[in-house]
Amino acid sequence: MDCVFCRIVAGEIPSDILYQDDEIVAFRDINPQAPVHVLVIPTEHIASLSDVTGEQSGLLGRMAAVANRLAKSEGIAEKGYRIAVNCGDQGGQLVPHLHIHLLGGRQLSGRLG
Ligand code: 5GP
Ligand code: ZN
């Protein structure tokens, strides 16, 4: 499949991986929007948050837990950080493989859009 994040999971595209298990991979964003910008993704190809089923809701919780742990290890947990999921075209999603953005290390804008 021609999916950039599936290729990262497969090790075909190099990335700065911070966490990896059978179900979840986290790596630094190639074009960081903040001093800390990490992407947390499922190893399974799920195109978008809108494709997550009830049975997969546990996966989202575990992805959030990985993001929270990385916020601690990256040293941004105390001052605060942002978790964002872009969904679909107008939601600003460019890569069609579900991902959580973990952003921090500077004062983030209060506006979301
Ligand atoms: P989206 O706009 O889909 O929510 O975010 C996609 C993110 O993936 C962007 O922040 C972009 O910089 C990042 N990205 C795209 N291609 C690559 C890549 O090959 N490697 C890494 N590490 N990040 C990527
Ligand atoms: Zn994929």
pTM score > 0.95 for this model?
Answer: yes
User: Distance (Å, rounded) from C-alpha 6 to C-alpha 11?
Assistant: 9
Q: Compute the distance between CA of residue 9 and CA of residue 25 in angstroms, rounded to an integer.
A: 7
Give the integer Cα–Cα distance in Å for 50 and 93. Answer: 12
Q: Which atom of ligand 1 is nearest to the CA of 99?
A: 4
- With contact defined as beta carbons under 8 Å apart, do 78 and 36 qualify? no
> Residue 94 C-alpha to ligand 1 middle, in angstroms?
8
Tell me, using a 6 A CB cutoff, whether residue 92 lines ligand 1.
yes
Q: Which one of 8, 12, 30, 63 would you pick to mutate in the ligand 1 pocket, going by the greatest count of ligand atoms within 8 A of its CB? A: 30
Indicate the burial class of 80 (C-beta count within 10 angstroms; 0-12, 13-18, 19 or more): exposed
pLDDT tens-digit readout, 20-48? 999 999 999 999 999 999 999 999 999 99
Q: How far is CA 82 from the centre of its chain?
A: 11
In percent, the amount of the chain with pLDDT more than 90 equals 95
